[in-house]
Amino acid sequence: MTINRKQQEFEFKKNLIITAAEEIFFTKGFENTTMLEIAHKVGYSKGSIYSYFKSKNEVCFCIINNYFMSIANLAQKILEQDITGLEKIITFKDRFLREFSQKEDFRKIFETFKYHRNQCMEMEDEIDKNKNYNIEINLAIRQYLQEGISDGSIKDDVRIESLAEALWGEEVSFISELGIKGENSFNYLFELIINSIKQV
């Protein structure tokens, strides 16, 4: 059996665990889910889970990283669309909101990720992956802005780096409040920002 084949099987099993874990996390929340439950759901014993993941926390990070990958892909796909830079900014926000932040399940697990992301021992891999996705997303947004300036949809005096960081930061951080305040207040805020950067 080749090394490659082994690797594939390993990844496949890892994915089985992630899928099962995600489902339970989504229904019961991170804290109320035990490693034993996850294991049983995949037909494994508890110990086995630990040969695929270093900790319960890492399982959560892997799940989140899958979502970050989707978001990074989304950002890339929008980049290729034939619309103005400003429209790309708006499209990204709309799609992000619709696909990721509207689901309460996702919001909850995302909260867990945000909560634990700083006390992460021994899972540099996942942390690095996450950082890279963040960079990808950030770069895409910078390009939206750059294009917007070129195509005349965005004012040419916006500070691209700061704004890209801030926009993505805002979308990520506001997720926590969406359950409490609803989408309206977020959308209004976004509208005001857009208002402030669009070329008139």
Partner DNA sequence: TGACAGATTGACCGGCAGTCAATAAAATGA
Partner DNA sequence: TCATTTTATTGACTGCCGGTCAATCTGTCA
Max CA-CA distance within the chain?
Answer: 64
Beta bridge pairs of residue 154: 198
Q: Which does 197 bind (CB under 5 to 8 A by kind): a copy of itself, DNA, none?
A: a copy of itself
Enumerate residues 3-32 that contact a copy of itself by CB under 8 A: 29, 31
Q: Cβ neighbours of residue 69 under 8 Å, at least 6 residues apart?
A: 133
- Enumerate helices (H) and strands (E) in the chain, giving the number of each: 8, 0
Say whether residue 14 binds DNA (CB under 7 A).
no
Q: Which does 186 bind (CB under 5 to 8 A by kind): DNA, a copy of itself, none?
A: a copy of itself
Cα(117)–Cα(127) distance, rounded to whole angstroms? Answer: 8
CA angle 45, 66, 1 (to 5 degrees): 55
Are 175 and 110 in contact, with CB atoms under 8 Å apart?
yes
Say whether residue 61 binds a copy of itself (CB under 8 A).
no
Binding residue for DNA, selected from 24, 26, 29, 48, defined by CB under 7 A: 48
The CA dihedral of 152, 155, 159, 162, to the nearest 10 degrees, is -90
Say whether residue 35 binds DNA (CB under 7 A).
yes
Enumerate residues 95-154 that contact a copy of itself by CB under 8 A: 108, 111-112, 114-115, 118-119
Binding-residue total with DNA (CB under 7 A): 21
**Part of the chain binding DNA (CB under 7 A), chosen from 54-62, 66-74, 85-93, 169-177:** 54-62
Q: Which does 33 bind (CB under 5 to 8 A by kind): DNA, a copy of itself, none?
A: DNA
Q: Pick from 166, 168, 164, 154: which is nearest to 196 by CA?
A: 154
Q: Cβ neighbours of residue 81 under 8 Å, at least 6 residues apart?
A: 88, 91
Binding residue for DNA, selected from 50, 95, 170, 198, defined by CB under 7 A: 50
End-to-end CA, the chain: 64
Q: Which does 51 bind (CB under 5 to 8 A by kind): a copy of itself, DNA, none?
A: DNA
Closer to a copy of itself by Cβ: residue 31 or 122: 31
What is the binding site for a copy of itself (CB under 8 A)?
Answer: 29, 31, 108, 111-112, 114-115, 118-119, 159, 162-163, 165-167, 169-170, 172-177, 179-181, 184-186, 188-189, 192-193, 195-197
